[in-house]
A and B are shown apart, each in its own frame.
Chain A
Amino acid sequence: MGVSIQVDKLNAWFGKTQALYDIDMKVEANHATAVIGPSGCGKSTFVRCLNRMHETIPEARATGRVRIGELDVYNGTSATQIRRRIGMVFQKPNPFPTMSIYDNVAAGLKLNGFRDRHRLDEIVERSLQLSALWDEVKDFLKKKSGASLSGGQQQRLCIARALAVQPQVLLMDEPCSALDPISTGKIEELIFQLKESFTIVIVTHNMQQASRVAEFTGFFLLGKLIEFDKTEKIFTNPSDKRTEDYITGRFG
C-alpha cells in the first residue's frame, strides 16, 4: 500500500545556489500528484530530495523535514533504506546495459542480497505484468539485453525494475519526455493502475498529462511552490496569478 508524504520547510542547494525555498507539501497516499513548472524551477530537485538522490550530486545538500509514512527521511534513516521504500523512474530510460531483461528487473533485489530464485522469478513476472511489459518480453527474458528494447519498452522495464523492490512510493521524473505518444499513453494508463498500490509523484512538462493522471498538482516557480491544490482547481480556477499565466501559456 502507498503511504502519504509530508514535506515541511524543505530547502535545497547546489553548492551556494539555492534551488528550493521552504517547500511545504502534503502528498496523499494512493493518489498521483503532479509537479509542474517551467524548466529550472526545481521540480526535479524537489522529487530527488524525497528519496535523497539530491545528495548524490557533489556539493548538493538539503535541509528540512520529509516524512514518508512513519519514516523520517532526513533523520535517523539511511539513504539506501529510504531509496528501497521509494522507487524512482528517471527522465531517460536507463536500463543496465550489460544485464538481461530478467536481471534488470531482479537487480534491486539481487544487489541487496536477495537470493531466493523461486521468489525472484515470481517477483520479476509480477513486476513486468504490473508495468504492462510481460507479454512483449516473456519469450526472451534472459536472452536479450535490457538495452535491446525500444525506448518505450525500456521505460516500462525501468518501471518494473523500480516496482520489483516493492516500494511504497513511486517518483517519476518526466518519465515520458523521451517517448512517443503511444508509449506515453501506455505509461499514463499504467500510472492509473499503479495508483491502487502506490503513491505516485510525477514531474511533467506536459500539462495535459498532469491533468489526465494526477488528482493533485503543485506548481513550482524559481524554486518556490507557488500553488498546490486539486488538479481540477489548478487548471480551471487557480488562485495565484502566476499559476494562471503559466497554465494559459503566457510564459514558461
Chain B
Amino acid sequence: MANLETTADISLPQLSLYRRGTNVLVTLMAASAVILVLLPLGAVFGYLIYKGIGSINLAFLTQTPKPVGEAGGGMANAIAGSALILLIASCIGVPVGIGGGIYLAEYGRNRFGNLIRFTADVLNGVPSIIVGIVAYGLVVLTQGHFSALAGGVALAIMMVPTITRATEEMLLLVPNTVREAALGLGVSRWRTTLSITLRTATSGIITGVMLAFARAAGETAPLLFTAFGNQYWNWNTSQPTAALPLQIFTYAISPFDEWHRQAWAGALILIVLIVLAVSAVRVAASRGMLKGAN
C-alpha cells in the first residue's frame, strides 16, 4: 500500500498556462511553415491547370506546331523530342553518375576523392547556360550542326553531379557490417559492391536519379544552342530536335495569344509527364525489389 501512496505523491501538477500556450504557439508555427512550403507548389500547379487545361486536346498531343496565324496544332514533336533527349541524357548521365558515386563511397577516401567531390559540388552550381555552352563547344562545333545528341550531352552534364553525390550518400548509409558479411564469405570486393552494397542502397539511388532526371527535364537554357528546337518531327539524333521547355520558351516570348495559351498547356504537360515518369520508375523499382526479395 505504501507503493500507492508514493505514486500519488509524484503525480505531475497541471501544466501551467504558460507552457500550454507555448505548446499551441509552436505547433501553429510548425503548421504554418508546412503551409508556406506547400502553398507555392499548389499555387503553381493550380494556376497551370487553370491556364493550360483549356488548350489541351488530342491535336495538341498528336500534331506538330502550325505556322503563325493558323489556329490549332500541337507540341507532339516537342514531347517526343524531350523524351529522345532525356533518353540520351540518362544513358550517358546515369551510368557515369552512379559509377562516380560508387568510386567516391567505396574507394574515394583520399585526396583524389575529395577533388572529385569538390568538382561535383561546383559543377552542381554552374549556371545551366554555361553547361549549354560547354556542350555546344564539345558536340555542336565538332559535328558542325545542332543535334539531339548535343542536347542529351548538355543535360547529362547537368545530371551527373546530382546522381554522383546522391549515390555516394546512399552507399555510405549502408552499414559496414553488411559489407563485412559479404567479404567474410569470400566474395570479392567489386562483387560485394555491385551485388550487396549497391543493391541495399537501390531505392535511395533511384530517388537521386529521378531528382536529377526531373530537374534535367525542365531545363531550357542548356538546350538553346544544343538541341536548338525544331518545328517538325525528328527522330534523328544528329538533327536539331524540339524539346518541351524550348517550345514553351519560344511560345511564351512570342507576341501571339494563341501561342501563349499553348505555352501554358505545354508547361502543364511537362509537369504531368515528369510526375508520371518519376512515379512509373518508383513503382517499377519497388516491384523489382520485391521480386529480388522473393
Instruction: Point out residues on A near B: beta carbons under 8 Å.
Output: 51, 53, 56, 58, 80-85, 87-88, 90, 92, 94-100, 103, 107-108, 111-112, 142-143, 145, 158, 161-162, 165
Judge if B187 is at the interface, Cβ distance under 8 Å.
yes
* C-alpha gap A99/B197 in the complex (Å): 12
Instruction: Point out residues on B near A: beta carbons under 8 Å.
Output: 109, 175, 177-188, 191-192, 195-196, 199-200, 202, 289, 292-294
| Cβ-defined contact, B202 with A83, below 8 A | no
Give, as a whole number of angstroms, the nearest-CB distance from A56 to chain B. 6
Whose C-beta in chain A lies nearest to the C-beta of B178? A94
| Cβ-defined contact, A107 with B180, below 8 A | no
Set A84, A95, A145: member contacting B185, Cβ < 8 A: A84
**Contact A53-B184, Cβ < 8 Å, known A98-B289, A142-B294:** yes
A-B pairs with beta carbons under 8 Å apart, 27 shown: A56-B179, A80-B186, A80-B187, A80-B188, A81-B186, A87-B184, A90-B180, A90-B181, A94-B178, A94-B181, A97-B178, A98-B199, A98-B292, A98-B293, A99-B292, A99-B293, A100-B294, A108-B185, A108-B186, A111-B182, A111-B195, A112-B186, A145-B293, A161-B181, A162-B185, A165-B185, A165-B186
Grouping DSSP codes into helix (H, G, I), strand (E, B) and loop, the A interface class, with mixed when no group exceeds half, is mixed
* C-alpha gap A111/B292 in the complex (Å): 14
| Cβ-defined contact, A100 with B293, below 8 A | yes
| Cβ-defined contact, A92 with B177, below 8 A | yes
Give, as a whole number of angstroms, the nearest-CB distance from A100 to chain B. 5
B185 / chain A contacts, CB cutoff of 8 Å: 83-84, 87, 107-108, 111-112, 161-162, 165
A100 / chain B contacts, CB cutoff of 8 Å: 293-294
| Cβ-defined contact, A96 with B196, below 8 A | yes
| Cβ-defined contact, A84 with B186, below 8 A | yes
* C-alpha gap A162/B185 in the complex (Å): 7
